A and B are shown apart, each in its own frame.
Chain A
């Protein structure tokens, strides 16, 4: 049983939203009250335990209260109700380089910023070379920081912050600092912290980054704690919910489209011997869904009505990313599956995808029927259906596809 680095007990935090902000004494005297305001609860009854030595992620959409919670833990804000305790030295990295004095040299600012963040002079003396080395500022260290490029400024600030070596480090979306080489250095430093058994609390909405980074996570929505636990589970829940919201939006957009059916058939073309009525996206239980998970068995079903016989029909599907990038396409000729001639009347055809290989995101399906060895298009629906992909198995971290990959055979010289 590990002990807790931070315990948040029943914490609530409200802000005043001023309806009529007055900062003048005259107005105060005239109205006899300082200002009218509404109470806005940014955090409601949060109970949370952050175990020692873990990297803990706080997830949530913008305005969910995650940064407010971090600021409460950092003692910058004071909760209205409840209390927060922590064990060990704590440092917050909410904005790097805050408190730099532009007229002073980089050297003076390192000492100043270090003191603000809680380092003693002897401690900074000891770490000074390492800080300068980490920042890559080099000979500029004795120049006033106003002459620094924005990158140098941020790197120096980050270098100071990361050298505090606190027992608990609070980080707010500052991981995307500097160029790739610098980011790698940062990631390395963070894993050092973790290896030394220090607790890191990270706030972000960059799901993929959090996944590689955190052991444990919590997610917040509208100031309420929605879930706490092992990072993978919590992040999956959060990502699903986030995609649902997105899907909801796209359905609203689709709803408009469907009400005037020209839009859904926008860009439709073909000679017209048969028409595609609709396309279904079926999950493993044969239910028509608009969200699937990576790795699910998925079936695309095309319903059509045939008006005149078509001798050698070619059925095709393709999937496009929401950005318009064509991800995949396939038709039955390519897979040597010969379709029987189509007769007038209604019918359908299935395409089976045994393990859905796309990563979370929003996609569109195009469906088409062609004739004469794919030489003539009978009907084509470029926007037959929109759907989203939620996180599933296997998990591979980036891009649009999963490849069921694995690592092996690490070899080292000497």
Chain B
């Protein structure tokens, strides 16, 4: 109970903090190092995977369906492949992040039942490891966009990515905290989340431009389609990355506020759920 913590916390306060940071760093490194250990190409896979995705979507939607990419406001870019690249990489971070974060507790049952350490370290290290991979991917996209027509101007926009990545990571982490607890109690979440992610991707304008949504809104004036898209956090994050990498611009103030709100709500609910349930999960594993 609470008194267990209260009785011991004061004595170990500073020690515990050091240990937790140290453990977090070690587990994050474990994830990063272990990720591509058995492969010949190793870390190259973290770039090859999204490249393959970009190629597939460019082929299907850019050439066969002929979706027209929006015009990059400051960059003057008009390339479906570049536009998709700027969206699919952030989306990959959110979908993979929540999928891996979801299993962070259930998949580490052996560790949780044998050793005591702050439980939030497990989902957090998973997300942090993924975030570091995500950063290298973003760098690759920036180079890709710069070389393929954007020019060196893109370099000046890159620092804007830092707060976006921080807010996005907080959003994914909060969601993962909730999902990881949920997985311990309901195995179904694994499958439900897989289906939900497919729907969510199309609801976030990752591969199809927002102009299609606007067209649909004209066709159904009574449904709040555009409003729902605007409310979707993944859409806001994906568009924010595109603001920077495709438009060479900064996100609007509204977008900043929406992202901040989603990150905060996700972290607050996530930490609350996690602290309420994490002490009993060992019995349920």
Interface residues in chain A, defined as those with a beta carbon under 8 Å from any beta carbon in chain B: 15-16, 23-26, 28, 34, 71, 74-81, 83-89, 92, 94-95, 98-99, 101, 103-104, 108, 111-112, 115-118, 120-121, 144
Q: Is B26 an interface residue (CB 8 A)?
A: yes
Q: Which 10 A-B pairs have the closest CB atoms?
A: A115-B26, A103-B37, A85-B7, A83-B3, A75-B116, A98-B114, A95-B114, A94-B114, A78-B279, A115-B23
Give chain A nearest CB distance to B109 CB in angstroms.
10
On chain B, the residues within 8 Å of A115 by CB distance are: 19, 22-23, 25-27
Task: Name B residues whose Cβ lies closer than 8 Å to a Cβ of A.
Answer: 1, 3-4, 7-8, 11-12, 15, 18-19, 22-23, 25-27, 29-30, 33-34, 37-38, 110-117, 185-189, 192, 279-280, 282-283
A23 to B19, CA, bound (A): 34
Task: Using CB atoms, name the residue of chain B closest to A170.
Answer: B116
Q: Shortest beta-carbon distance, A145 to chain B, in Å?
A: 11
Do B8 and A116 touch (CB < 8 A)? no
Instruction: Please determine whether B33 and A104 come into contact, CB atoms closer than 8 angstroms.
Output: yes
A78 touches B33 (CB 8 A): no
Identify which of B12, B186, B282 contacts A77 (C-beta below 8 A): B282
Query: In angstroms, how far is the closest chain A Cβ from the Cβ of B184?
Result: 9
B residues in contact with A83, CB < 8 Å = 1, 3-4, 7
Contact assessment for B186 and A23 in the assembled complex, using a CB-CB cutoff below 8 Å: yes
Query: Which residues in A have their C-beta under 8 angstroms from that of B23?
Result: 115-116, 118
Q: How far does the Cβ of B110 sit from chain A's closest Cβ, in whole Å?
A: 5
A16 to B280, CA, bound (A): 11
C-alpha gap A16/B283 in the complex (Å)? 8
Which residues of A lie under 8 Å from residue B3 when comparing CB positions? 83
Q: How far is the CB of B29 from chain A (nearest CB, A)?
A: 8
- How many angstroms between the C-alpha atoms of A99 and B34 in the bound complex? 13
Tell me whether A94 and B8 are in contact in the complex, defined as CB-CB below 8 angstroms, given that A77-B282, A103-B34, A104-B34 are known contacts.
no
Picked from A16, A23, A111, the residue with its CB within 8 Å of the CB of B187 is A23
**What are the residues of chain B within 8 A of A118 when measuring CB–CB?**
19, 23, 117
Task: Known A15-B283, A103-B37; judge A76-B30 contact (CB<8 A).
Answer: no
Assess whether A112 is in contact with B30, with CB atoms less than 8 Å apart: yes
Query: Bound state CA distance, A116 and B122, in angstroms?
Result: 11
| CB-contact partner of A92 in B34, B115, B192, under 8 A | B115
- 19 A–B contacts, CB within 8 A, in A order: A23-B187, A28-B186, A76-B112, A78-B1, A79-B1, A83-B3, A85-B4, A89-B12, A89-B15, A92-B116, A98-B111, A103-B34, A104-B33, A108-B30, A116-B23, A116-B27, A118-B23, A120-B18, A144-B37
CB <8 Å contact, B8 and A86: yes
Partner of A76, one of B7, B8, B22, B115: B115
Task: Name the prevailing secondary structure of the B interface residues.
Answer: helix
Q: Which residues of B lie under 8 Å from residue A87 when comparing CB positions?
A: 11
In the bound complex, residues from chain A placing their C-beta under 8 Å from that of B188 are 23-26
Residue of B whose beta carbon sits closest to that of A18: B284
Q: Which residues of A contact B282 (CB under 8 A)?
A: 71, 76-77
Cβ-defined contact, A76 with B37, below 8 A: no
Q: How far is the CA of A71 from the CA of B30 in the complex (A)?
A: 26
Residues of A close to B26: CB separation below 8 A: 111-112, 115-116
Cα A83 to Cα B4 with chains together (Å) = 6
Additional A-B contact list (12), CB under 8 Å, known A76-B112, A95-B114, A112-B30: A23-B186, A28-B186, A74-B116, A75-B116, A76-B115, A76-B116, A77-B283, A79-B4, A83-B4, A98-B111, A108-B30, A116-B115
Inter-subunit contact B283/A120 (CB<8 Å)? no
The CA-CA distance from A75 to B112 in the complex, in Å, is 11
Q: Which residues of A have CB within 8 Å of B111?
A: 98-99, 116
Q: Contact between A94 and B115 (Cβ–Cβ < 8 Å)?
A: yes
Q: Which A residues lie within 8 Å of B115 (CB)? A: 76, 92, 94, 98-99, 116-117
Among candidates B18, B30, B112, B187, residue contacting A24 with C-beta atoms closer than 8 Å = B187
Docked Cα-Cα span, A88 to B11, in Å, equals 8
Q: How far in angstroms is the closest Cβ of chain B from A236?
A: 32
Contacts of B4 in A (CB 8 A): 75, 78-79, 83-85
| Chain A residues within an 8 Å CB radius of B283 | 15-16, 77
- Residues from chain A with a CB closer than 8 A to the CB of B8 are 85-86
Residues of B within 8 Å of A75, CB to CB, are 4, 116
CA distance A80 to B283 in the complex (A): 12
A78-B280, A83-B1 as given contacts; A120 in contact with B22, CB under 8 Å = yes
Instruction: List A contacts of B117 (CB < 8 A).
Output: 116, 118
Residue of A nearest to B2 (CB): A83
Could you say which residues of chain B place their CB within 8 Å of the CB of A112? 26-27, 29-30
Q: Is the CB of B113 within 8 A of A103?
A: no
For A76, list chain B residues within 8 Å (CB).
Answer: 112-116, 282
What residues of A have a CB within 8 angstroms of the CB of B22 in the complex?
115, 120-121
Closest Cβ of chain A to B196, distance in Å, is 13
Smallest Cβ distance from B213 to chain A, in angstroms? 31
CB A93 to nearest CB in B, in angstroms, measures 9
Which among B4, B115, B186, B282 has the greatest number of chain A C-beta atoms within 10 A? B115
Query: In the complex, what residues of A have CB within 8 A of residue B187's CB?
Result: 23-24
The answer to whether B114 and A101 have CB atoms under 8 Å apart is no
Q: Which residues of A contact B185 (CB under 8 A)?
A: 23, 34
Contacts of A74 in B (CB 8 A): 116
Q: Report A-chain residues with C-beta under 8 Å of the C-beta of B27.
A: 112, 115-116
A52 to chain B, nearest CB (A): 14
Nearest residue (CB) in B for A117 is B115
Q: Which residues of A contact B37 (CB under 8 A)?
A: 103-104, 144
Chain B residues whose C-beta falls within 8 Å of the C-beta of A104 in the assembled complex: 30, 33-34, 37
Contacts of A99 in B (CB 8 A): 110-111, 114-115
Alpha-carbon separation in the docked complex, A116 to B282 (Å): 17
Please report the C-alpha to C-alpha distance between residue A369 and residue B30 in the assembled complex, in whole angstroms.
75
Q: Give the complex CA separation of A75 and B1 in angstroms.
A: 10
